Structure 1
Amino acid sequence: MINFSRSSFTWQSHPWQADPHYKWAGGFVGTAGQSYHVRFTLEARCVLRDAAGAELAELFLGAPCRSEYTIASENLFQIPSGEWRMPFRRHSIPVIAGKASHEVEDVRARPLAGAYQDYKIDIRTCADATALTEVGAIVASTLAGDAQNARSIYRDEATGIEVELEYPVNVMNLNAADGEFQVCTGPVLLPDMATWDGRDVHRVFVAHAAFSRFDRVEFILRRPVAAAAEERAWLDQPRGRDRLELIDPDDPPPGYPPARPQPLVYSETWDLPAQNAVLRVD
């Protein structure tokens, strides 16, 4: 059982170099040559296994930030605001989907090596965890205040690969009198198995999970959507620094201006046969 709140990814950036066009490239507001450390905790894990049970891949989802300027003394939040979060493997960084699962995106995972000057992956676990697959035990564990993760295992029909997800139980619903429970929580990390090439999953989905039985799980997937034109009038209006401010307005880069952040919504659902359990420790 993973202790997600104590597990983390820490990187040290390469020394910052000024962008030839943008004044606040990457939201960085320091000076050339500075190098930052960034640490984020982990929120979910995904493991792929073949039919014999051999592990093929392990992926993690990191905690997000709201695209702040770093490291600033004021005007920390970028407006327009977007979300930044990073999925990763121990050797690569897949791409978070920007479209529905049936829509193809031409994306590739990028190598983790070289992305940062240095990095550390620190996975902490809880000893003596117990898997609960009986409603009464889940009720008792919840009311006792135990630390809980959920585990959901399903099989991808197209590839035959088993997908195991582990994620904290942030919300639990109970009807103790009638022996009912419901986990509804997130985020979780879902692999787009259509992009699996035997080494990497190139696209992943951020989703939430829910289950109230041990043999099925539902996921609701997140993706950006375009706001109506009348909403973009205020949504795209910078306040304070403008992330897209140019050093020389007469010398824009090709394709300027890039798209502003889009709202993120949860809509597409997957309802899958699964093996669910609640993991608990004191």
Structure 2
Amino acid sequence: MQTVDFSRSFLTFRTDWTKKPSSTASHKPPYTLNTVRIRLECVCTIEDAQGYREDFALGASCKTEVVGAKRDLWLQPNADFRPIYGRTKFMNLKTYAQVDQSVDFYPPKSEKQSERQVGDIAEAFDDGGVEIVHAKGEVLQSDQEVVEATLANESLVATTRLSTPRYTVTLTYPVKTMNANQRDWVYQTDTGPVLLPDLDLEPDELISGMELAFAAFNHPDWVEFIVREPVPVGEGVGVYHYARPIRWDAHNQVIRLRS
């Protein structure tokens, strides 16, 4: 079988200010050209019975920065930044020290940057897209095989399939943290973040409803997520935290990558 090789799968976007200003920037860059390459952390494939199918790719976390400066590389206030790309649209997640914190755009606009900025890839960037590289994989058939592969430091990928009356969702993600018990042959994933879609939305709205979650399972038939959401920590103050548990009936597989 084939599965995603996350070590070679990337999301990229290029800004070229000689052609058009970036619609996602919050500062004037020192240079007019920059291409960003971000490793993927999850591929979320959504399908329906009418033939709709789309891959949504989650990029790894990075921080807001000034690229190429001689000093003061980190923007203040600083944000955790994660891009999510669909076929034609993107959503940038920016998380500051507290919920609802934001900064101005550059060049200035009438509104501030949203924590969840959704846009068209072709309009926002000079170029951009996702390259998902596949490699040979082997589905591990038993708990013992999963434990043994874990303790042998094999590269592992998980797939989790979710279904509603309208959509089928397949999450594919690298297993970055795994628990393994070779006495009782018990394993448990604890890994993320992954993309968790709002499956009540129409296809063209799905990207705007994506949330981040960590996934855990120790059985092929169900999965539990812990979902990132705003959490109050004081009067009028909230932070984003992985706090809300959800359990889904699912079909899970653990796959060993073959070189």
Tell me which amino acid in the other structure corresponds to 1:26.
Answer: S
Aligned residue among 133, 152, 157 for 1:124? 133
Tell me which amino acid in the other structure corresponds to 1:220.
Answer: I
- Within the alignment, does 1:143 sit opposite 2:115 as a pair? no
Gap runs ≥5 in structure 2: 100-115
Instruction: Write the distance in 1 (CA, Å) between the matches of 2:81 and 2:230.
Output: 13
Q: Tell me which residue corresponds to 1:169.
A: 175
* 1:206 Cα deviation after fit: 0.9
Q: Tell me which residue corresponds to 2:242.
A: 266
How many percent identity over aligned positions? 29
TM-score, normalised with respect to structure 1: 0.74
* 1:121 Cα deviation after fit: 2.4
Q: Tell me which residue corresponds to 2:110.
A: none
Residues 85-121 of structure 1: per-residue CA shift (max 9 Å, x gap)? 110112111465999xxxxxxx894222221112242
Instruction: Write the distance in 2 (CA, Å) between the matches of 1:162 and 1:184.
Output: 23
Instruction: Write the distance in 2 (CA, Å) between the matches of 1:50 and 1:10.
Output: 27
Tell me which amino acid in the other structure corresponds to 2:199.
Answer: M
- Within the alignment, does 1:280 sit opposite 2:253 as a pair? no
Q: Tell me which residue corresponds to 1:3.
A: 5
Q: Tell me which residue corresponds to 2:59.
A: 62
Residues 164-210 of structure 1: per-residue CA shift (max 9 Å, x gap)? 10100001101111121101100101111222x23441310011100
- Deviant stretches of 4+, over 3 Å: 16-19, 94-99, 224-230
Query: Are the aligned partners of 2:85 and 2:129 in contact in 1 as well (CA < 8 Å)?
Result: no
Query: In the superposition, relative to structure 1, how do residues 82 and 229 fare at CA in structure 2: closer, same or farther (>3 Å)?
Result: farther
3-state secondary structure, aligned to 2:82: coil
Query: Are the aligned partners of 1:132 and 1:280 in contact in 2 as well (CA < 8 Å)?
Result: yes
Instruction: Write the distance in 2 (CA, Å) between the matches of 1:97 and 1:208.
Output: 18
3-state secondary structure, aligned to 2:134: coil
Instruction: Write the distance in 1 (CA, Å) between the matches of 2:92 and 2:80.
Output: 14
- Within the alignment, does 1:178 sit opposite 2:184 as a pair? yes
Query: Are the aligned partners of 1:9 and 1:41 in contact in 2 as well (CA < 8 Å)?
Result: yes
Query: In the superposition, relative to structure 1, how do residues 15 and 29 fare at CA in structure 2: closer, same or farther (>3 Å)?
Result: closer
* 1:153 Cα deviation after fit: 0.6
Deviates more, 1:217-226 or 1:164-173: 217-226
**Which has the bigger relative contact order, CA under 8 A and spacing at least 6?**
1
Residues 140-179 of structure 1: per-residue CA shift (max 9 Å, x gap)? 21122211011111113xx431111010000110111112
Q: Tell me which residue corresponds to 1:255.
A: none
Of structures 1 and 2, the larger Rg is shown by 1
Gap runs ≥5 in structure 1: 20-24, 100-106, 233-261
Query: Are the aligned partners of 2:224 and 2:248 in contact in 1 as well (CA < 8 Å)?
Result: yes
Aligned 1:168-247 pairs, distance under 5 A: 168-195=174-201, 197-201=202-206, 202-225=208-231, 228=234
Q: Tell me which residue corresponds to 1:92.
A: 89
3-state secondary structure, aligned to 1:85: strand
Q: Tell me which residue corresponds to 1:76.
A: 73
- Within the alignment, does 1:39 sit opposite 2:37 as a pair? yes
Tell me which amino acid in the other structure corresponds to 1:126.
Answer: A
Query: Are the aligned partners of 2:121 and 2:128 in contact in 1 as well (CA < 8 Å)?
Result: no
Q: Tell me which residue corresponds to 1:154.
A: 162
- CA RMSD, 1 decimal: 2.9
